[in-house]
Amino acid sequence: MGKTASETGWRVSRYNLFAPIPDSKNVAIANLFRGTCGAYSPLELFLLGELNTLDAEHPILTRFRERGLIVNFDERAALDAIGRMGCSVGGAGLTICPTMGCNFDCPYCFENHKAGKMTQKTQDDVVALAERMLDVSQKKALSVTWFGGEPLLAPDVIEALSVRLTALCEAKGAEYSAGIITNGYLLTQENADLLARCKVTSAQITLDGVGEAHDRTRHLAGGGSTFGRITDNLRQGKLDFRVTIRHNVHAENVGEIEALRAFVETLAAESGNNIIYYPAVVSGNDASDDRGCGVGLLCSSDASEISVRRDAKRFAPGRGQYCMAHRLMSVGIDEKGNLQKCWEDVDKPEHSFGTAERWDPKNPIATADRPDNLMRYINTALPNFDEECDKCVWLPTCSGGCPNKRLYYQKQCLPFRDEPEKYVLALYDRIGEEKTDDKK
């Protein structure tokens, strides 16, 4: 016998998770770094633990190696490298708020709304910033998300900027894409047609339940129901873009999940529009806490069930970053032209790192008004300053969690952190052996 697998540098990955497969002798193993999940026999499981004695030429090692179950490099250091490399890659991304005003008053909203609309001068600054970003971006592409406030309170700003930004991309030979986050109350056919002209291909609208269950938390400022108006817009309008219905799940409406899912499926069928449903757990924040809001995190069992299903659907190799806030070329712009790194900061000028008028990504630190507000987000791309995260098996999946929560509120771990078997089985049910091979 020649050298053993361990003698040639192979060791079991630190990011393997295991779960017995019900009604089977096999075990499902997910590798969070490589993004694989498959079934393994008792013999294979035994051999995985015998790298100290297993011949380095044993054929089982090929399967283990290709699926990431064994490695010959420092995975933790690799996550750091992936996170840092990702901070500067990709195209330009702008989250633009035509207004921070809103016609709703939702108790869990993370924003404190204020009236006002983006001026012509600020629009000029936004276009100029987009041009500077495209000039230095590695990928010639501009992605725009219309946000607020409620962006459809200022459709004229959306249209005017869209015309200019699409023309800029054409002149630069860059791809252009756009989406919108809206409450849907003002999604009339006129506005839907405007969004289509503005090359919007996706919209996110929140429903908190069916009928009264929705109206309890998503009502008009000053009172008034909204469910009927929103769903009429979705049912009667011809929408040339995909609509995702987000269900903000909290302790008071967790029982609405199946009813709302069925309602959305019926709504899509009746309207002929592309409408899909997904649930997301509500978390606390400073704005909602200041309002004395009684809506917070679900009890752990409900939160983990929802999060397991959601995260299993978007399972991917370890990415080293939690969200676009970690990328230099992704910024939010409020109606005054202040720049932020996170959607949850767009109403907080004190968290701004600069302005659309002055900031230049070619020299990002020197042109930032508050460089610390920029750097603190970039530096959380991987939480190498956090000993708990550093040692956690979930790090490739969560990347240290929401940077905004980490910086300004409290670190949030995955709700199913202590239930790895539930997560692995959800992955196995979705991916299966054959799909894992395709994904590899």
Of 94-108, 193-207, 242-256, the range with the highest mean pLDDT is 193-207
Q: Is the pLDDT of residue 287 over 50?
A: no
First to last CA, the chain: 31
CATH architecture for segment(s) 84-378: Alpha-Beta Barrel (3.20)
pLDDT at res. 437: 40
pLDDT category at 115 given cuts 50, 70, 90 is confident
Q: Say if residue 30 is exposed, middle or buried (CB neighbours under 10 Å; 0-12, 13-18, 19+).
A: buried
Rounded to the nearest integer, the mean pLDDT of the chain is: 90
Q: What is the pLDDT of residues 118-175, one digit of tens each?
A: 999 999 999 999 999 999 998 899 999 999 999 999 999 999 999 999 999 999 999 9
Q: 179-183, 195-199, 202-206, 311-315 — which is least confidently predicted? A: 311-315
Q: What is the pLDDT of residues 246-267, one digit of tens each?
A: 998 887 888 899 999 999 999 9
326 phi and psi angles, rounded to 5 deg: -80, -10
Q: Is the pLDDT of residue 201 over 80?
A: yes
Q: Is the pLDDT of residue 298 over 70?
A: no
Q: What is the pLDDT of residues 356-380, one digit of tens each?
A: 999 999 999 999 999 999 999 998 8
CB environment 358-388: b (16+ within 10 A), e (fewer): ebbbeebeebbeeeebbebbbbbbbbbebee
pLDDT at res. 89: 76
The distance from CA 436 to its chain's CA centroid, rounded to whole angstroms, is 23
Mean pLDDT of 186-205: 98
pLDDT at res. 145: 97
Mean pLDDT of 223-246: 97
- The proportion of the chain whose per-residue pLDDT surpasses 90, expressed as a percent, equals 70
Q: Is the pLDDT of residue 59 over 60?
A: yes
Q: Say if residue 306 is exposed, middle or buried (CB neighbours under 10 Å; 0-12, 13-18, 19+).
A: buried
Q: Are 68 and 36 in contact (CB under 8 A)?
A: yes
Q: Is the pLDDT of residue 83 over 80?
A: yes
pLDDT category at 303 given cuts 50, 70, 90 is low
Q: Is the pLDDT of residue 385 over 80?
A: no
Mean pLDDT of 177-200: 98
Distance separating alpha carbons of residues 171 and 169, to the nearest angstrom: 5
pLDDT at res. 306: 75
Q: Is the pLDDT of residue 432 over 70?
A: no
pTM of the model: 0.88
pLDDT category at 284 given cuts 50, 70, 90 is low
**Domain assignments of the chain as residue spans, ordered by start:** 11-73, 84-378
pLDDT at res. 254: 85
pLDDT at res. 304: 64
Q: Please, which residues bridge with residue 104 across strands?
A: 220
Q: Is the pLDDT of residue 407 over 80?
A: yes
Q: Say if residue 161 is exposed, middle or buried (CB neighbours under 10 Å; 0-12, 13-18, 19+).
A: buried
Mean pLDDT of 324-338: 94
Q: Rounded to whole angstroms, what are the CA distances from 96 to 52, 212, 244?
A: 56, 31, 19
